[in-house]
Amino acid sequence: MTFADLGLSPKVLSAVQDAGYTVPTPIQSGAIPHALQGKDVLGIAQTGTGKTAAFVLPMVTRLEKGRARARMPRTLILEPTRELAAQVEENFIKYGKNHRLNISLLIGGVSFDEQERKLERGADVLIATPGRLLDHFERGKLLLTGVEILVIDEADRMLDMGFIPDIERICKLIPFTRQTLFFSATMPPEITKLTQQFLQAPVRIEVSKPASTSSTITQRLVKSGAKPWAKRERLRDLIRAEGDSLKNAIIFCNRKSEVALLFRSLVRHEFDAGALHGDMDQRARMTMLENFRNGKLKLLVASDVAARGLDIPDVSHVFNFDVPTHAEDYVHRIGRTGRAGRLGKAFTIVTKSDTKYLDAIEKLIGQDIEWLDGDLSTLSPEDESEATPKRGRTSRRNESKRDEKRPRAAEAKEAEKPRSEKQKDERRQAIKTDNQERRQRRDRGGDDRWDDGPVPVGFGDNIPDFMKVPGKV
């Protein structure tokens, strides 16, 4: 089957051919004919299978008829993150180059005024994150009564990010007669309930079992001690061991603070790395993604903001520095490699505290993941041991606080850049001067904790005036 057999318009077929595609993926061949007929579609496919084109191509074909009106978009596409929304916009520009479509992108981190001007001109295609869309609606700058096609993309990610209440509210603002295209990689019970509520007799297109991983990805587990610096050293050894076979890689962490720390560590060890997480402003995030996509960066340290749907087709490796706490996130993370039939590798660094998360992942994907060089039982006693403070007179509460601070202090020390010799000399001189002052105070009988000034008696010279008034006898 080719794209010409799916019923797309000649203009769309020309754009597809110019993009270099000839054979549709299973999700595209299954969803596009039904979408062109105006039916509701429920598409379930693992990441990297071409879900975006499965709704973009039929939408461009159907938008050839009609025109947009001010503040009343004809179609609406909801995305969980800014990066995915911007990526969908790029797809509409690529496949709609033979059309005159007005495309509006409503995402955070961009001026409201600029977005309002685009809405005033009329939008054939409105691509938005739920929060920013509702912001414009509440400001009275947007009407949703003219929406003919609604697309909910990466629905399981919407669930993880807490967007389901917003989606339910948006769906109630759109005409009941709309066409709804619903795409997700996994189908947890909450998503199933949502589809039953807002889809009318949908055509279910399922090209792989829910939460499956691609057969083109080689998955391996890597044991590590629990110390953060031990995990970082293990990661560096893995990167070096892959050698020339590692073209580029995404390294996933669970926390934004860990992303920043690991990024600094890799740069300090002379690796070509960048960072991507949710606290970065939109311009910096898009620049970092573009540099990685164009090969200007070899390693991208990221939080789960980069785990869903980003179109970076040729990623050779994925490293899970932290085992994801949600099993579904594992599927999306490793799905960044091995895309479009290419081969990829995924390594997950595991400590003993990660065993429950690992069990949930293997249960979800229905297979046991092979260990690279022995499982956790082969860890040496040195790797398993944690740094424990000496017990003294301090209370258990103070000991626990000190235990929490110790790893952070060690990480901060590791993250520091080496001081110059001049800075070291200045620091030593300051310590020497401070010690001399302490010895002088001690010799004079003073206490190190207080200044050496005269000790006032009573109020000293600061007697209030009302106490100087002579009293009556």
Give the tens place of pLDDT for each residue, 364-394. Answer: 888 899 999 888 888 776 665 544 334 444 4
User: With bands split at pLDDT 50, 70 and 90, how would you rate the model's confidence at 125?
Assistant: very high
| pTM of the predicted model as reported, rounded to 2 decimal places | 0.64
Query: At 152, which amino acid appears?
Result: I
Average pLDDT over residues 206-230: 82
Per-residue pLDDT for 460 more than 70? no
Q: Provide CATH 3.40.50.300 ranges for the chain.
A: 3-206, 217-384
| Residue matched to tokens 């990685």 | 292
Q: What is the reported pLDDT for 451? A: 42
Provide mean pLDDT across the span 203-209: 82
Tell me the longest C-alpha to C-alpha distance in the chain: 115
Sheet holding 299-302, edge to edge: 273-276, 299-302, 249-252, 317-320, 344-350, 217-223, 370-371
Q: Mean pLDDT highest for which of 64-73, 133-142, 418-427, 446-455?
A: 133-142
pLDDT at 385: 55
One-letter amino acid for residue 100 of the chain: R
Pull the structure tokens for residue 141.
């700058």
Architecture of the 3-206 domain? 3-Layer(aba) Sandwich (3.40)
The listed range with the strongest mean pLDDT (141-155, 335-349, 440-454) is 141-155
Tokens of 290: 């573009």
> Which two tokens mark 326?
């949600």
Specify the CATH number of the domain 217-384. 3.40.50.300
Q: How confident is the model at residue 312 (pLDDT cuts 50, 70, 90)?
A: confident
| For range 74-85, the mean pLDDT | 91
Residues with Cβ within 8 Å of residue 315, at least 6 apart in sequence = 247, 248, 249, 250, 336, 337, 339, 344
**Mean pLDDT on 161-179:** 92
**Percent of the chain predicted with pLDDT > 90:** 47
The candidate with the shortest Cα–Cα distance to 298, out of 262, 329, 266, is 266
- For the ranges 67-76, 104-113, 437-446, the lowest mean pLDDT is seen at 437-446
- Which segments of 199-281 does DSSP mark as H helices, in order? 228-242, 256-268
Predicted confidence band of residue 285 (pLDDT cuts 50, 70, 90) = confident
